[in-house]
């Protein structure tokens, strides 16, 4: 090789080098993905090799760059593993890339998404255009004081019934129905838009609603004109759980936007943020960042933390400015799912009290998947748990039975009792659980839950309420009163009895 050629080859670092081990692989370079399933939204793959050593990453809209672990070429195919999330059985997943017709065919899996997409070879400058912009989390500051939600928040949310198919017209209709049914006057105050309202960011990074929400300010004005309050939804990740634009990198800006639009409530859902914030410290700081941003707007917000009960959220939810925090994954409209949450995953009662509540998720009452007895158990459990009461059905289709269940004054009063104690099981006997919740006036709410598949009968005793004697009994559901506890209560299969007793 001539001296000139040798120098040029060395400078370029190309395979003209005398050492074959330094040859680049066919995968080296930048590959752009233009059409890819929205989740996780692969935008780019970068591969660099030096000798036997290969490194690379796959950039996604949901999780930013996903690093290639143990990349190696076998039989001409690039194999690697990638960090997986949320799947304890598969903390990593196998991925592969093969060159097909000059394109890189990428196959892999992350959480619940399968990827099989083709990328085209491109230039290094495209890599900087599509590079994910990381933002640093600020440190924790002083606990954010809360003056609102002295009792558990009540209202309605779009998710359980409408999923992401929610629009301005439906939200207005829900506000109208909240008033015309009497639900507002029964105490339900918030009309909350869950996931699915988001559009794109403008040139200044300000998030715009999508076409289904033409004018957010007009919408909040409308809801306020009905004597109601209104909520919105986001995530600290780049993408929300349904794949919409999240607040990653725009936390302060988004808080300001919600305040300017006139919102009163934010549900902040970890979603794709779990890729970036995967331990107690970072999850907490990511909630603090938004809590502080909401506080900085000067507008009063209810701040609802939705991270599925991880990292003992109840022990720090108040410090980051939260008034309620989810204790579990999502509820569904069936008895087993509801009962699992309501009985066993409704959060540590020690953390609940005025201005901070365990949130076992929104109500399914009225959605049709449970029997009347099962819905009565659902409502009784939530009331005994001092849980937020966020309805989740189409309010325009509230049957008289559903309305009676949702507006029962005594049941709501148990939930909303000013003492703010989360009730809990005091006795378990076979399939039956007896729960007690002390009330501010010295009386005690008692519930008998039959988790079994056949009707049963069982007494309640003064000791269940921690009282020496009981001389006043009020049935929470029927309103009937008596001056002593009966010999036994019959409780239907999967049903509940709830009474308020006093000495």
Which residues sit at the interface with ligand GLA, rule CB under 6 A?
159, 194-195, 240-242, 269, 306, 330
What is the secondary structure of 278-327 as a DSSP string?
A: -SHHHHHHHHHHHHHHHHHTTS--EEEEESTTGGGGGGTTTTTT-SEEE-
> Measured from the CB atom, is 194 or 289 closer to ligand GLA?
194
CA distances, 150 to each of 130, 330, 354, 386, 396 (Å):
46, 25, 4, 11, 29
> Measured from the CB atom, is 80 or 263 closer to ligand GLA?
263
- From the candidates 126, 330, 334, 373, give the one annotated as an active-site residue: 330
Nearest approach in angstroms of CB 365 to ligand GLA is 16
> Measured from the CB atom, is 246 or 262 closer to ligand GLA?
246
Nearest approach in angstroms of CB 160 to ligand GLA is 8
SS3 (DSSP) at 423: coil
Q: CB-based contacts of 8: which residues, under 8 Å, 6+ apart? A: 16
> Measured from the CB atom, is 264 or 464 closer to ligand GLA?
264
Nearest approach in angstroms of CB 271 to ligand GLA is 6
Is the torsion defined by CA of 393, 398, 402, 403 positive or negative? Answer: positive
Q: CB-based contacts of 325: which residues, under 8 Å, 6+ apart? A: 304, 305, 306, 307, 309, 313, 314, 317, 347, 356, 357, 358, 359
Nearest approach in angstroms of CB 244 to ligand GLA is 8
> Measured from the CB atom, is 58 or 266 closer to ligand GLA?
266
> Measured from the CB atom, is 243 or 492 closer to ligand GLA?
243
Active site residue 269: yes
Q: CB-based contacts of 115: which residues, under 8 Å, 6+ apart? A: 36, 37, 40, 42, 95, 106, 107, 108, 109
Active site residue 279: no
Nearest approach in angstroms of CB 198 to ligand GLA is 11
Own/partner pairs for 171-174, CB < 8 Å, 24+ apart?
A: 171/219, 171/223, 171/230, 172/219, 172/222, 172/223, 173/395, 173/396, 174/395, 174/396
- From the candidates 167, 269, 361, 464, give the one annotated as an active-site residue: 269
Nearest approach in angstroms of CB 332 to ligand GLA is 11
Instruction: Give catalytic residue positions.
Output: 269, 330
């Amino acid at each position: 090789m001539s001296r000139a050629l040798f120098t040029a080859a060395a400078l370029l670092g190309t395979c003209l080098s005398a050492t074959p081990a330094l040859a680049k692989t066919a995968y080296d370079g930048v590959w752009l993905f233009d059409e890819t399933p929205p989740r996780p939204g692969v935008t780019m793959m970068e591969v660099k090799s030096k000798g036997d050593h290969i490194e690379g990453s796959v950039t996604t809209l949901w999780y930013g760059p996903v690093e290639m672990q143990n990349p190696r070429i076998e039989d001409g195919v690039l194999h690697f593993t990638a960090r997986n999330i949320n799947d304890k059985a598969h903390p990593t997943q196998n991925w592969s890339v093969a060159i097909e017709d000059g394109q890189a065919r990428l196959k892999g899996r992350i959480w619940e998404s399968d990827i099989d997409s083709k990328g085209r070879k491109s230039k290094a400058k495209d890599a900087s255009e599509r590079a994910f912009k990381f933002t640093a989390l600020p440190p924790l500051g002083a606990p954010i004081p809360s003056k609102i939600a002295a009792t558990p928040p009540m209202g309605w949310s779009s998710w359980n019934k409408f999923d992401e198919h929610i629009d301005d017209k439906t939200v207005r209709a829900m506000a109208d129905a909240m008033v015309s049914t009497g639900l507002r006057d029964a105490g339900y105050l918030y009309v909350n838009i869950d996931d699915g309202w988001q559009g794109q960011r403008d040139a200044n990074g300000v998030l715009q609603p999508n076409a289904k929400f033409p004018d957010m300010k007009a919408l909040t004005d409308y809801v306020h004109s009905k004597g109601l309050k209104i909520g919105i939804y986001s995530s600290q990740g780049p993408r929300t759980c349904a794949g919409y634009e999240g607040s990653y990198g725009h936390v302060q800006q988004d808080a300001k936007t919600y305040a300017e639009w006139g919102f009163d409530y934010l549900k902040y859902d970890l979603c794709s943020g779990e890729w970036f914030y995967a331990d107690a410290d970072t999850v907490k700081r990511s909630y603090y960042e938004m809590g502080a941003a909401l506080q900085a707007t000067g507008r009063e917000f209810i701040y609802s933390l939705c991270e599925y009960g991880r990292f003992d959220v109840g022990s720090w939810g108040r410090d980051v400015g939260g008034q309620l925090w989810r204790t579990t994954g999502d509820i569904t409209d069936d008895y087993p799912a509801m009962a699992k949450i309501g009985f066993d995953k409704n959060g540590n009662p020690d953390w609940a009290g005025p201005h901070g509540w365990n949130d076992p998720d929104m109500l399914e009452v009225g959605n049709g998947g449970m029997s009347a007895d099962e819905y009565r158990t659902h409502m009784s459990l939530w009331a005994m748990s001092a849980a937020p009461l966020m309805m989740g059905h189409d309010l325009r289709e509230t049957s008289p039975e559903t309305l009676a269940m949702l507006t029962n004054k005594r049941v709501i009063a148990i939930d909303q009792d000013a003492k703010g104690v989360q009730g809990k099981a005091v006795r378990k006997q076979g399939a039956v659980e007896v729960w007690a919740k002390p009330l501010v006036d010295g009386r005690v709410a008692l519930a008998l839950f039959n988790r079994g598949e056949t009707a049963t009968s069982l007494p309640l005793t003064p000791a269940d309420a921690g009282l020496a004697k009981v001389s006043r009994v009020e049935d929470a559901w029927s309103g009937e009163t008596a001056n002593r506890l009966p010999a036994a209560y019959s409780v239907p299969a999967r049903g509940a009895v709830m009474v308020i007793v006093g000495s």
